[in-house]
Structure 1
Amino acid sequence: MYFTPKPASADAALPPSGKNLNVLHLSDYHIDPRYDIGSEANCTSHLCCRPDAVNNVLHTNAQSPSLPASRFGALKCDSPPDLALSAFQSMPQFFDVSNISFSIYTGDIVSHDRDDQLSQAYIEYEETIAYDTFKAALNNAPVYATLGNHDSFPQALNAPNSLAPKNAFSWNYELLASLWQNASWLNASEAQYAATHYGAFAVTTPQGLRVISLNTDFWYKANIFNHYNTTNPDQSGILSFLAAELLACEARNQRAWIIGHVLSGYDGSNPLPNPTALFYSIVARFAPKTIALIAFGHTHEDQKQIYYDFLPNSTYIIDGRTYRNTTMVDYNKPIAVAYIGPSVVPLTNLNAGYTMYQVDDLTFEIMGSQVYFANISNSLTWTTPEWDFEYDTRTAYTPVISGGWPATAPLNATFWHKVTEAMLENTSVAQMYSTYETKSSVVTPACDTGECARRKVTSKVWMQAYAYNVL
């Protein structure tokens, strides 16, 4: 897939020109209906805070735990219902929930069970309860969601429609589409598309933003259906759908957000190279003019991923066909940023968190961002979960950027590129970023050396297919 060059105006900065909207970013709830209060929360087995959790080193179990599972969560466990609900209950102390324009949910509702503990009925139960709860808690604010790798059965598996006359996973897409339509987040045609296209959809918000939701299991390594006919990077058609949507947005002069679950880069352990190289090419074609934001989940951490433009000499022609070497990236031209949402689930050794954005209602750029968190290390002392303000992005990072950052400028790819420069110059900035990654967990690893700062920032290339500069 090769696109015509981006319009000449695409590289021009889009200044904010409207009022701010409040947009909530939730991710990775991993609600655990089997959470066992008082069981072993410091286990060496698959999943702690379960009746069968044991610590083989300390010889403890659910009946005699070394660390009893709090009713409100533990660092090595999925979310108990009381923690999951408390995220919503905490919000009125920080902002007026009725002023939320819309929310994005970047995937993973279902708990981290072993395959032999899962069933279709279990997935249906978790998804139904979760989205009904979101609807009740957020009143009339739409929630635009995407599938996580755990939100299917068997987990991480999604097959292209071309494999069989009836997709074996259609029951899940149809269920989610019906839940989203019944909540009035999608209309009938949008829901029909989601039901027949892997839960993917595109919707225009009441404010005029186009939200494009992708099923990123089609570039996830754990999806076995991605490992045949690998010469085709888009067997499902998800990326063709994305490109068509962005072309239509460009023609309408409409800005778009792309939401997904499994991020397209970072440590290289999750995405396949060919489809994410194609995704990167799509981003480079449509950012920054059309794409205002990319949002992912999956890592459970509060992270950012920067996309850069390609070098002018990255394309070449063989037998009349144009190709691009996607490793030839111009690190002086940041064009897009992916905001990776912090998880509500504590697993692994993290605090719980969520993010509120202030979004310009004409450009749909992120103008402000705050993270709120619950310190799970204190959960055994709580009578109810205690949530606190963690940090404001502009306030935390503007002072460390050389020359500062204008108060009217968005928190875009250029902003985060300048943060990476500050991290390389001053390890205290890298430590601050590392602490915020874990939502200020007490077990945040130290990042107070130049080598650690470089690991946080340095771009990586995998299989000569794609390159990212990553925070």
Structure 2
Amino acid sequence: MYDHDLYHQKILSDYVQNWEHHTNQPYNWNSAVTCDVCKGIVQELRSAIEAKAPRETLLNISNFFCVHFKIEDVRVCKLVIEQYKDVVFGVIEQSLLSPDEICAQLIPDDDCGVPYNPKARWNVTLSKTPKPPVKPTPYPKPGSPTMKILLLTDMHLDLDYQVGSNADCQEPLCCRVNDGTPAPDKKGAGFWGDYRHCDLSPHMFYNMMEYLKSIQDQFDMIYFTGDIPAHNIWNQTRVDQLVRMRTFISAIEKYLPDKPIYFAAGNHESSPCNIYAPPFVKGNMSQDWLYGAFAEVWTKWMPLDTIDTILKGGYYTVSPFPGLRIVSINSNYGTTDNWWLLVNNTDPAGQLQWLSDVLQQAEDNNEMVHILMHHPAKHEQVKQWSWNFYTLINRYENIIKAHFNGHSHDDFFNVIYDSENASRPIGVGYVPGSGTTYNNLNPGFRIYTVDGNYTGSTWAPLDWDNYVAEISKSSAETPPAWVKEYSPRSAYGLKSLNPSEWDDLINRMNKNDTLFQSFLTFRYKLATHGPCKGGCVASTLCDLKTSRTNSPDLCKDLY
């Protein structure tokens, strides 16, 4: 008989006693999940599975940890465990990793003291073609054609948003139909949105679409780098996700019918959120339901020869113009949040090997490359995936002209450096900020100007215009005004958008606090945030210099 109540009490008691002994302080029940808690959960579930405990017992164990360690409230704990149970139990049953190794991947910023795991090391096979001499990207001659690209990302459209509802619901997402009314001394959810833990309201979404329709002569095509559904990850079904995706697509077709759009898969597209099953997962737990929908929707704007890789792993390549190649990467196959990678993280779906081959062919054909990828480089990435990706970016630096990312809802950039010479910048990843207000942000979008469609074009970004709508200045009677927030060349004094200019900007911000504070204003899209001084400055600038997991040496010149 598996006495889970006894195990619960012992694990909880042991953990609290150890914590209080080492810190000489009473345990803080509101503290975040630590490595020790993670190990306790994994070991407890594994013991229960090996003892062939009933599924109800496994759910009780999970719920116990979630509630007692205040990971979420009782309602969210119950629903999120129901949402993720099949994946969690499947991964723990199949993974050969120890609790230490599992938790080191789930909580990479905590020191779990993980032993070396040789099975975690793998490398993509590079082409035998030698890397050509590095060629700086020239600035186009005056009068050269340009092209405009609208970048949308992280819409997180909440179809259950309710004006006037409780925006302080004490759950991860509020302002929804089931959140009730606000306390007497609190304001309810705003008509156009809310700065609190609330996602994009339908009113704001369609207002944005109307505005984009009114300026559609100012851009030629669209990049969308993922995340359509809202943040209610504890109670989303596959049907919910597909409805949200089709709602977004219907709006694009209605308001911008003549604009081609190219997609990248976000972590919120899937159900459960973050979980993208690699091809070795079969049956009902496979990713076929989502990749089939991607193939159906995405190929409305792309040739049918992209279907095979979309169905295999949610990635593809397409050449919309001579000399330009778009490569859409499914970065969910490289993140620590995708728990299936605890079973096997060796190049899921063969994506990075495919990327290596695509980049070599592009180099052979003298094509320039735009990479669309939801997660910025390094963010939440498994080390070996991150390092292999970084190797490919280094090898093909001559042709990769920009990385277009999303995921992080604020506006920033990542500089990519030479693997052999960490002082030489070779590329840049751009994160334009989200469509959603979640959280404490204004909704926004970006229009890039890139070198245009002509023989010899570099297809490199030349500048951009960021647009925001300040919801604090709107009301039910006063729609939000979309304003041009900034352009980087004028705001930061950049000569171009080449990597060396962004590297120089980081160095200048390290010495010029006024310039750094301007960057923060744009980072949060004109919304009010707290001060950033001292260590916060160094940490922020270090993030801008780091595009590879576990690479602290890239920041040593900042301290």
More strand, by proportion: 1
Distance 2:230 2:307 in 1: 25
- 8 Å CA contact retained: 2:466, 2:485: yes
Could you tell me whether the CA contact under 8 Å between 1:346 and 1:376 is conserved in 2? no
User: 415, 418, 424: which one pairs with 1:306?
Assistant: 415
Aligned to 2:384: 274
| TM superposition shift of 1:386 | 1.9
User: How big is the shift at 1:64?
Assistant: 5.0
Residue in 2 that maps onto 1:9 = 133
Does the Cα contact within 8 Å between 2:378 and 2:549 map onto a contact in 1?
Answer: no
- What is the rounded CA distance, in whole Å, between the counterparts of 2:190 and 2:283 in structure 1? 48
Letter in 2 for 1:111: A
What amino acid maps onto 2:269 in structure 1?
Answer: D
Name the SS of the counterpart of 1:197 in structure 2. helix
Provide the rounded CA distance (Å) in 2 between the counterparts of 1:469 and 1:274.
20
Question: What amino acid sits opposite 1:264 in the alignment?
Answer: A
Choose which of 277, 287, 290 in structure 2 pairs with 1:169. Answer: 287
**Does residue 160 of structure 2 align to residue 70 of structure 1?**
no
Report matched runs for 1:206-355 at 5 Å: 206=321, 208-230=323-345, 232=346, 234-265=347-378, 270-287=380-397, 289-311=398-420, 330-355=421-446
Structure 1 residue 298: deviation in Å? 0.5
1:453 is aligned, of 537, 540, 544, to 537
Indicate whether 1:147 and 2:265 are aligned.
Answer: yes
CA positional deviation for 1:35: 0.5
2:158 to 29, 32, 37: 32
In structure 2, C-alpha distance between the alignment counterparts of 1:130 and 1:461, rounded to whole Å? 30
Match of 1:104 in 2: 223
Q: Structure 1 residues 6 and 411, CA, compared in 2 at 3 Å: closer, same or farther?
A: farther
387 and 99 in structure 1: CA distance in 2 versus 1, 3 angstrom threshold: closer
1:6–1:286 Cα contact (<8 Å) kept: no
Shift of the 310–39 alpha-carbon distance from structure 1 to 2, 3 Å rule, reads: same
Q: C-alpha distance in 2, partners of 1:216/1:121?
A: 23
Contact 1:430–1:456 (8 Å) recurs in 2: no
* Structure 1 residue 172 displacement after superposition: 0.9
User: Quick check: 1:430 aligned with 2:546?
Assistant: no
Quickly say closer, same or farther: Cα 1:16–1:374, change in 2 above 3 A. same
Instruction: Give the structure 2 partner of residue 89 of structure 1.
Output: 210
Give the match's secondary structure for 2:220: strand
- State how far apart, in whole Å, the 2-side matches of 1:462 and 1:310 are: 10
Letter in 2 for 1:305: N
Give per-residue Cα distances to partners, 1:54-109, cap 9 Å, x unaligned: 7xxxxxx448571211121101210111111222222366xx41342211001000
Instruction: Describe the SS at the equivalent of 1:162.
Output: coil
Give the Cα separation in 2 of the matches to 1:114 and 1:301. 20
Cα distance change, pair 141–65 in 1 and its aligned pair in 2 (3 A): farther
Q: Does the 8 A contact of 1:277 with 1:465 survive in 2?
A: no
Measured in 1, the distance between the counterparts of 2:286 and 2:185 equals 41
The structure with higher relative contact order (CA 8 Å, sep 6+) is 1
Alpha carbons 2:317, 2:325 under 8 Å: kept? yes
SS in 1 for 2:340: helix
What is the CA–CA distance in structure 2 between the aligned matches of 1:28 and 1:463, rounded to whole Å?
23
2:498 matched residue in structure 1: 412
- Largest Rg, 1 or 2: 2
SS at 1:163's partner residue? coil
Name 2:53's counterpart in structure 1: none
- How far off its partner does 1:206 sit? 3.0
Matched, 1:189 2:305: yes
Residue 44 of structure 1 and its aligned partner are, at CA, apart by 2.2
Alpha-carbon distance, 1:460 to partner: 5.5
Matched, 1:387 2:482: yes
Q: What is the CA–CA distance in structure 2 between the aligned matches of 1:6 and 1:308, rounded to whole Å?
A: 19
The whole-number CA distance in structure 1 between the counterparts of 2:343 and 2:431 is 29
The amino acid of 2:530's aligned partner reads: P
User: Do 2:446 and 2:464's aligned partners in 1 also have CA atoms closer than 8 Å?
Assistant: yes
- Identity of paired residues, percent? 25
In structure 2, relative to structure 1, the CA distance for the partners of 1:167 and 1:432 (3 Å cut) is: same
For the aligned residues, what is the CA RMSD? 2.4
Shift of 1:138: 1.9
Deviation (angstroms), 1:192: 4.0
The 1:375–1:382 alpha-carbon spacing in structure 2 relative to 1, beyond 3 Å, is: farther
The structural deviation recorded for 1:433 is 0.9
Aligned length: 424
In structure 2, C-alpha distance between the alignment counterparts of 1:345 and 1:464, rounded to whole Å: 30
TM-score by length of 1: 0.84
Where do 5+ consecutive residues of structure 2 fail to align?
1-123
